Amino acid sequence: MGTAYNGKIARINLTTGEIKVEALDLEMAKKFIGGRGLGTKMLYDEGCATVDPLSPENKLIYLTGPMTGTLAPSAGRYMVVTKSPLTGMIASSNSGGVWGVRLKHAGWDGLIVEGKSEKLCRINIEDDKIELLPAEEFAGMQSEALDDKLKELYPKCSVLNIGPAGEHQSLLAAIMNDKDRAAGRSGVGAVMGSKNLKAITVTASSNTCQVTDLAALKASSMDCRKLLKENSVTGEGLAAFGTAVLVNIINSTGSLPTKNWQESYFDKADDISGETMKDTCLVRNSACYGCPIACGRVVDIDGKVVGGPEYEPLWAYGANCGLNDLKAINTANMLCNEYGLDAISTPCTIASAMELYQRGYITEEECAGVPLTWGSSEAIMEWTKRMGEGELPLAKLMADGSYRLCEHYGHPEYSMSVKKQEMPAYDARGIQGIGITYATSNRGGCHVRGYLISPEILGLPEQLDRTTTEGKAKWAMIFQDLTAVIDSMGMCLFSSFALGAPEYAALLNAATGTTYTPEQLLEVGERIYNIERLFNKAAGMKPEDDRLPKRLLEEPIQNDLSKDMVSQLPVTLPQYYEARGWVDAFPTQATLERLGLAE
């Protein structure tokens, strides 16, 4: 095994205060790579599938990948792996920025945090030194202010923290790092809050990683950067307009979910597009560590310069709430970052509350002076704030996501979620393949677990017909497996618009000394996808959890661009299980044996 791994993990017990250094199992790393894959295997082996997610028995695993912090392009990612309080299943939330890189450069592959501190605490890491310190003085502090405060104490550190939403254990709470980067989905911030852990600061005196073959890694990285530069999405679209370049593209196919997915076309979409953002409020692009794409946006809100919204919150606060006010969306997105809330699930929950209000289930009185009306700028800002504070009864309910909210009012069908996690910005009626990946995602409604928008809309690596089901099950599996590899390596998924399995294999082999073929690398991805599914099975997942909301199966799209389309999941799901070697949503013994998971 090569040297892109530091070979050590810190186990931090918040109950006892004990900090232990453990050797990384390099054979296990070879089977699961790192990041998402290795983190899931470790969490499974720790017995966390059957625990209460918000109990001291659950564990938080912060894990880098072997490529994190190397000179490979877009290698700035880390994963937070835990049992999700939102879904009750596996949570593995991915984030960029520089925090994961600092952890790697400080000499650690990852941290296992277990137990629960009696009082609010924080962890400080400076190279080999790890200390557990009190943090009561920071109680209730918002994310950006805390970042600034901790940098006064440790000027060269990178800060990871939870905002007020994590402290009061909102099931939509994110873990923030570097001010506006988020490990956003599945309620990982609530788990951190349940442990009374407010922040982790990391300072590293080194700024490099050891790798096996530096010359080969340099050559592979140069090849990859060239491909990224020449690609129309990574070299042009994302750089010019950020992920919001998708607003007009998706709307032009009649697949932009609008007003809680009641409609699929938003006639004011251009007002909230990446193009309009560039012309009105964009200050500059921003990039995570080592990334040549620089898809991040920095925006100006009345003189305050902050991280701007990605495509998902632009859509979720915009079209999905019937709103075309870009300034209000920027503000609501900033509030998500400040309170530490998932910027997909939070606005999607507000959209489902707007439908409950539209239909008379949520009353005027419950709205406490701010009605949940479609297209209300005040509503999206005020209710985000209220969800972050978690004090008003309705806001408290909303802060646990749309499924629990809609179930409370007797109408779970208005929650546009899978496995209780809100779906992102692509209507699975108008784009057939993405519906398979939503339904079968191990962490609930998710687009970045198999981004079939790439072939179905953008034509990468080849153009597929978005309206048909033919071959989509197999495509879904390949994309899910490749994504699992990228997440586990510590690289950004967006690199896959230009790179494929051969490029990732070359990078990984150069860094670690492995000899993966592209096919073998995809098999590692398949192993990771299957171990996640085994975790979910142990956690109590049922076959019927691989589903889509009734609306997508029974209510056809009405706009002319995708007229009369519904999701064909009943056709594609059996094909998907067959491709995976699964029966009734779970791997067969033969599949487990083939992947070395039989034990």
Instruction: Render pLDDT for 449-504 as a digit per residue (tens, 0 to 9).
Output: 999 999 999 999 999 999 999 999 999 999 999 999 999 999 999 999 999 999 99
pLDDT surpasses 50 at 168: yes
Name the helix (H) or strand (E) containing 533: helix 518-538
- Nearest one of 457, 410, 416, 456 to 438, comparing CA atoms: 416
In the predicted model, is pLDDT for residue 539 greater than 80?
yes
Classify residue 132 as left (phi > 0), alpha (psi -120 to 50) or beta.
beta
pLDDT of 599 reads 82
pLDDT at 360 over 50: yes
Confidence check: pLDDT of 67 > 90: yes
Strands 8-13 and 110-114 turn out to be parallel
Q: Which residue has the tokens 């007797």?
A: 410
CA dihedral 529, 533, 535, 539 (to 10 degrees): 150
Q: Are 89 and 225 in contact (CB under 8 A)?
A: no
DSSP 3-state of 78: strand
pLDDT per residue over 560-584, tens digit each? 999 999 999 999 999 999 999 999 9
Sheet holding 282-286, edge to edge: 282-286, 296-301, 304-307
Q: CA nearest 286: which of 305, 302, 273? A: 305
Structure tokens at 22: 């453990």
Q: Report how far Cα 142 is from the mean position of its chain's Cα atoms.
A: 21
Amino acid at site 386: R
Longest dimension (CA), the chain: 67
Residues 207 and 105: beta-carbon distance below 8 Å: yes
Structure tokens at 174: 């994110």
**Polymer length of the chain:** 599
Report the amino acid identity of residue 162: I
Contacts 24+ apart (CB under 8 A), 21-27: 22/112, 24/109, 26/1, 27/1
CA 243 to chain CA mean position, Å: 14
Can you give the pLDDT at residue 2?
55
Contact 529, 246 (CB under 8 A): no
Residues 48, 49, 51, 53: is their CA dihedral positive or negative?
A: positive
Residue entry with tokens 């809330």: 341
pTM of the model: 0.98
CA distance 414 to 29: 42
d(C-alpha 315, C-alpha 240), whole Å = 18
Tokens of 67: 């490529």
% helix, strand, coil for the chain, step of 5: 45, 15, 40
Tokens 């040549």 label which residue? 292
Region of 328 (left: φ > 0; alpha: ψ -120 to 50; beta: rest) is alpha
Residue 428's pLDDT is what? 98
Going along the chain from its start, the domains and CATH numbers come out as: 8-203 (3.60.9.10), 243-421 (1.10.569.10), 428-497+517-594 (1.10.599.10)
Q: Which residue has the tokens 């005027």?
A: 364
Backbone angles phi, psi at 587, to 5 degrees: -65, 145
> Looking at residues 435-441, what average pLDDT do you find?
98
Summarised one tens digit per residue, pLDDT across range 301-339 is 999 999 999 999 999 999 999 999 999 999 999 999 999
**Mean of the per-residue pLDDT values for the chain?**
97
**Percentage of the chain exceeding pLDDT 90:** 99
Nearest to 242 by CA among 276, 192, 269: 276
| Whether residue 441 has pLDDT greater than 70 | yes
Q: How distant, in Å, are the alpha carbons of 35, 380, 383 from that of 346?
A: 26, 10, 9
Q: Is 594 exposed, middle or buried (0-12, 13-18, 19+ CB in 10 A)?
A: middle
Q: Which residues of 437-459 are buried (b: 16+ CB within 10 A; e: fewer)?
A: bbbbbbbbbbbbbbbbbbbbbbe
Task: Evaluate whether 109 touches 98 at the Cβ level (below 8 Å).
Answer: no
**In a 3-state reduction of DSSP, which class is residue 300?**
strand
- pLDDT-derived band of residue 1, with 50, 70 and 90 as boundaries? very low
What is the residue whose two structure tokens read 């920025």?
Answer: 97
